[in-house]
Amino acid sequence: MAGKRDKPEEIVLKLRQVEVLQGQGMAIADAVRQIGVTEPTYYRWRKQYGGMNRDQLKRLKELETENQRLRRAVSDLTLDKMILTEAARGNF
Q: Report the distance separating Cα 41 and Cα 5, nearest Å.
A: 11
Residue 6 contacts residue 14 (beta carbons within 8 Å): yes
Name which residue leads in pLDDT, 91 or 59: 59
Q: What are the sequence ranges of the domains in the chain? A: 1-52, 59-92
Q: Report the distance separating Cα 27 and Cα 24, nearest Å.
A: 9
The predicted model scores a pTM of 0.62
Q: Report the distance separating Cα 76 and Cα 71, nearest Å.
A: 9
pLDDT digits (tens, 9 = 90+) for 37-81: 999 999 999 998 888 887 888 888 899 999 999 999 999 999 999
1-52 under CATH 1.10.10, yes or no: yes
